[in-house]
């Protein structure tokens, strides 16, 4: 008789059960923190269908849970950027696609619109933006080398400034001053101008969301 779940070794079953619990907790936190950034661990546990003790068994604190969720969002975004093969696209198009992917990620992880949660550092003290900054800096430097972007300012400075523009756009959305579509359009236009690239002409369609 072929093996079933009940036939699986106890250790494997425990790992499988733990993975399901972790996924349920992260999924509940993703939704709940997007709606209510101040949601408690107990709120998240209830939404996930697990006990508060189960949450703490996998995440020693609420900060650890938030950090894990933000890391998951950034990993998903970096994977999407990698799949988009931005190195093969013209620099301005690559920048547009990079920002488009980032904004689409906000639809899946609305907690990233909360500045306090989005800027939360990893518990080990490392910079959670480092991988994103390096990728964006490389994209900008390629545009500078090709002549598509201005070379007056360093790629590192421009990358940091664009990420800060992204935070500002997110804060405007969170405050209700801009829709996500409006914020993305303004972010792209501002980023192109900052890099010395050619801004979109009036009436030129931008990314769709």
Please say if the pLDDT value at position 56 is more than 90.
yes
Domain with residue 199: its CATH number is 1.10.357
Please say if the pLDDT value at position 67 is more than 90.
no
Q: What domain range is 166 assigned to? A: 68-209
> Based on the structure, what is the number of domains in the chain?
2
Please say if the pLDDT value at position 200 is more than 70.
no
Domain with residue 41: its CATH number is 1.10.10
pLDDT of residue 199: 57
Please say if the pLDDT value at position 134 is more than 80.
yes
Same domain for 93 and 51 = no
Same domain for 91 and 22 = no
Distance of CA 173 to the CA centre of its chain: 15
DSSP 116-135: HHHTPPPTTS--TTHHHHHH
């Amino acid at each position: 008789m072929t093996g079933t779940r009940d036939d699986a070794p106890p250790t494997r079953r425990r790992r499988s059960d733990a993975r399901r619990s972790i996924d349920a907790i992260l999924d509940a936190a993703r939704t709940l923190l997007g709606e209510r950034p101040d949601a408690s661990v107990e709120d998240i546990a209830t939404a996930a269908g697990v006990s508060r003790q189960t949450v703490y068994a996998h995440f020693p604190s609420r900060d650890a849970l938030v950090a894990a969720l933000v890391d998951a969002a950034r990993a998903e975004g970096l994977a999407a950027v990698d799949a988009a093969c931005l190195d093969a696209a013209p620099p301005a198009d690559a920048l547009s696609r990079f920002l488009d992917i980032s904004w689409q990620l906000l639809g899946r992880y609305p907690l990233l619109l909360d500045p306090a949660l989005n800027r939360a550092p990893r518990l080990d003290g490392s910079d959670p933006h480092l991988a994103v900054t390096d990728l964006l800096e490389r994209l900008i430097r390629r545009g500078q080398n090709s002549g598509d972007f201005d070379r007056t300012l360093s790629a590192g400075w421009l990358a940091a400034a664009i990420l800060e523009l992204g935070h500002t756009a997110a804060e405007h959305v969170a405050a209700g001053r801009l829709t996500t579509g409006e914020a993305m359009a303004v972010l792209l236009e501002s980023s192109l101008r900052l890099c010395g690239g050619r801004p979109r002409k009036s009436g030129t369609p931008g990314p769709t969301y």
